Every structure is written in structure tokens, then in C-alpha cells.
Amino acid sequence: MAEIAGQQGAALTNELAQYLQNADGELSSEELTGIINEYLSGGDQLTAEGTSAASGIYKRFNEFDQVTGKVEIVTTGLWTGDTGSLAQHHTGSQAQSSSGDYFYNIFNTASNGEVQYAVAYGHISGSGSVSLAVNDDAKFPTKATYMQYRSLLLGQEDSHFTFPSASGVGSGVDADDFFVINVARARYKEQLDAGNWSLKLSGSRGAITLIDDSGKKFSDTVGKSGRVFDVVSGSLNLGSSSPASIDSRYTSGSTDGRSMAVGQGYGVFYPDQGIILLNPEAIESEIGFSCHTGSTSAPSGSEDTTRFSVTGSDFTGSNADAKAHHWIYAAIKNGADFEARRTENVSTSHYFVRAQNREFNFSNNPTFVSGSDNAFAVSSFKRDPRVYITTIGLFNNANEMLAVAKTSQPIAKSFDKEVLVKVKLDF
């Protein structure tokens, strides 16, 4: 039992005396408990409601029957149906429309699927887009893409995206171009789960599996767009007790003897934005790019002998919008393994529904009574009613139903039984 003494006791006495003087005989239990609770800690505070039994179908919650404002971290699979792995990757009619010059929406099925993510290619100078010299209506989709993501992800002081470099800590390679994988907002909700995604890319020279280098939930870099991690070659080692392992942070150069992208990182990852930014030179040097057969929208040319970010290559011609993002789509499709999860903070409220022995022992179900006089269908119910609780409704002060909770199985209730059910609301 709490004791209020000393100066606090004297102050409470004076405040109660002042209240009684001003109340003029009209006292409120809520106001009285409110005054006293100002002088009590949380565990000792009083509740204004009594413990009398409910006489109808409604019962008001007591103050301590409600626990609100809790936040839980929930992780689920990223893709449609909360699955963690995506093996099928399909474009739709959007790829052949005017917006297909800017990006591809990628679906989980060939028809009637849902958008899972989008892929795009950006170049700071607009390479890979038709030039104004060729077409007066040129829109430079690759330049628009670069500027869009630069505005979204970088600060005003940054003119280029920077990919990691083996030259040393703090150094990097300013990139004129990038591939971007932008997960649909409806898929990642609040954020992608750092350290819990892997992407297999497959091309004409082989395959590579990319992950991020988090190994923890906090990055060494926090920018305008939130946390930033490096993209590396490695494995999540799912199904084993081993942690994720990193095979390589930087490229060693392409397997055909060329020196492009030596010592460059594979990309950067923005979990709070649902974005993976890839270095085209590093990816091409590792796997090459092979176009998916049957495509009518891919640029032509020999992807094994040209870079994608050099004037005159497959991706940077000026006579047509080359749709360079088709190559990264093909690499993802051929890899056929994109595993990822998301995390979100879920607000929860807990309500403790208490049915005391004298409460809720009768039913409004018409079968509970019979005959014109509405006598109990079972005569023993007059002195010893038996009912089963299956549904609990939560109402506001206007008796409007806000939520319904179903029990996993009927709960027996009678005068010799009390029931406590905890209802949890997530939102």
C-alpha cells in the first residue's frame, strides 16, 4: 500500500480540501482519483471504475485493462504472399509503352501478376538515349533517371553517385551511370531487412550472388536517404548456423583479360528506400550480359566485347533509346533467385477482457429460450446457465463496433467460471 507523507502528503491534503470546498456536494470519482494519482507512481495509481459486475451486453474497460502504445518489429518475406524468394521475373505491356524507355516494372507471374520491383538505367549525360540531333522530341530518359535518383538519394553537395573502391577507406569511384532495382513500395512497406537479401545475376560469362555487407542493423554511413550499405559478392548461408559470408568486395577485372572495373565495388544499398544501386562496369566485368531470348525490346550488338557506359557501346548509342535496363532485367531473370525480407514497426494495443463469475452467463441467441413466454430452452439454465464465448467485440463510447476478435475455440462460461481473454490489435 502506498503512503503519501511529508510535503507531498500536505500538498495532497490541501488540494483535496480545495476540491471538496468547490464541489458543493457534487463529487466525481474520476476527478478524485485523478487528484490522488498525481501523487502516486504508476504501479500504485488508483482506478476510478469499480469492480461491480456488468449487467448488460457491454462492459467498460478499467484503466489498467488497456495497454497501448507498444511497438513491435515484424519481419516477413518481401514478395507477394509474404514469400521470401522470387524465382519468376516477367515484364508486361508497360515495357513496350513510352514509360518502358525509362524503366521496366517486373511482375511475379506472366499474367495477372503484381509489380514486385522496377529496374532502370541512369546516365549523368543521357547516354543510351536518343539525341536531339536525331529527334527533336528526345526526352533523354537515362539522364532523367540519373537526376531523379540523385535528387532522391544524395545531398546537394554530391554531383555523382560514388561506388566503393579498393583504393582505401573513404575512397570511391564517381560513377556516370548505374543500374537501379527499386522495390515496389507496397512490397517493402517501411524498409528492406538489411543483411537479409541476396540476388543472383547470370550472364554470358557466368553468375554472381550479391548481398549487402551489413552483418548488423546499423551502417557506417547515414545520409539523406537513411542507412547506406555496400553491395558485395557473398552468400547468406541460409539453412545453416553460419553467418553471411563475403566472397569479394571489389571486382578483379573481367575473365576475358580486360582490365575494366578492377578494384571497383558492385554497388550500394539503401534499405530505408527499398533501393539497390548497381555499378554497371563491375557487374558487366563479372558476368557479362546475355539478352533473354525472344525479347523485342533489347538493343542489339555483342555484349561480350563492349562496355555499356562508353560512347558507341550497346547502351550509349544516340540514334535510339537503347533501354539499357533490359540487360539487368535479363541478368536477374536468368539468375532466377531474388531472396529478400522486409521489416516494419507495428503499433500494438492489448485489451484484457475479463468476464467475472457473475457476468456474461446468458445469451442473446434465440435458441437459448423457447415458447411464447421465452422460457429457458433448458430448464436447468434458470439456476445454472451454461454458455460458450466465441466472439468478443470492441466498441467505442457510442456503442459502435470497432473490432471483432474470434476465439480459437469456444470458451465455457458459467457462474463457477471466470474468463480472461487478451485481445491484441496490430495497426
User: Is 60 exceeded by the pLDDT of residue 295?
Assistant: no
Q: Mean pLDDT, to the nearest integer, of 220-227?
A: 76
Cα 252 to Cα 140: distance, rounded to the nearest angstrom: 33
Lowest average pLDDT, out of 148-152, 235-239, 357-361, 416-420, goes to 235-239
Cα 281 to Cα 206: distance, rounded to the nearest angstrom: 15
Helix (H, G, I), strand (E, B) or coil at 101: helix
Contact 140/119 with Cβ under 8 angstroms?
A: no
Q: Mean pLDDT, to the nearest integer, of 91-97?
A: 88
Looking only at the bridges linking them, the beta strands covering 338-339 and 267-270 are: unpaired
pLDDT at 328: 92
pLDDT at 278: 96
**Residue (of 342, 314, 263) closest to 74 by Cα position:** 342
Confidence of residue 317 (pLDDT cuts 50, 70, 90): very low
The dihedral region occupied by 288, where left means phi > 0, alpha psi between -120 and 50, and beta the remainder, is left
Confidence of residue 138 (pLDDT cuts 50, 70, 90): confident
Q: Is 371 exposed, middle or buried (0-12, 13-18, 19+ CB in 10 A)?
A: exposed
pLDDT at 132: 73
Q: Bigger pLDDT: 15 or 308?
A: 15
C-alpha cell at 2: 502506498
pLDDT at 63: 81
Helix (H, G, I), strand (E, B) or coil at 128: coil
pLDDT at 50: 53
Residue given cell 477482457 in the structure block: 353
C-alpha cell at 406: 474470434
Q: Mean pLDDT, to the nearest integer, of 29-54?
A: 69
pLDDT at 408: 92
Q: Bigger pLDDT: 223 or 119?
A: 119
CB-based contacts of 38, cutoff 8 Å, min separation 6: 12
Lowest average pLDDT, out of 23-27, 46-50, 170-174, 331-335, goes to 46-50
| Side-chain-side CA neighbours of residue 127 (13 Å) | 17
User: Is 60 exceeded by the pLDDT of residue 53?
Assistant: no
Question: Ranked by mean pLDDT, which of 129-143, 200-214, 308-322 comes out on top?
Answer: 200-214
Contact 116/183 with Cβ under 8 angstroms?
A: yes
CB-based contacts of 406, cutoff 8 Å, min separation 6: 390, 391
**Residue (of 113, 88, 115) closest to 336 by Cα position:** 88
pLDDT at 290: 45
pLDDT at 312: 30
Cα 269 to Cα 278: distance, rounded to the nearest angstrom: 9
Confidence of residue 117 (pLDDT cuts 50, 70, 90): very high
Contact 341/78 with Cβ under 8 angstroms?
A: yes
C-alpha cell at 136: 527533336
Q: Is 130 exposed, middle or buried (0-12, 13-18, 19+ CB in 10 A)?
A: buried
Amino acid letter, residue 85: S
pLDDT at 380: 87
pLDDT at 26: 78
End-to-end CA distance of the chain: 37
Task: Sketch the domain layout of the chain as residue ranges.
Answer: 1-48, 51-72+345-427, 79-339
Q: Bigger pLDDT: 414 or 136?
A: 414
What are the backbone dihedrals phi and psi of residue 75, each rounded to the nearest 5 degrees, phi first? Answer: -120, 135
pLDDT at 134: 74
Q: Is the pTM of this model over 0.75?
A: no
Mean pLDDT across the chain, nearest whole number? 82
User: Is 70 exceeded by the pLDDT of residue 51?
Assistant: no
Confidence of residue 297 (pLDDT cuts 50, 70, 90): very low
Q: Bigger pLDDT: 99 or 239?
A: 99
Lowest average pLDDT, out of 18-27, 122-131, 293-302, 418-427, goes to 293-302
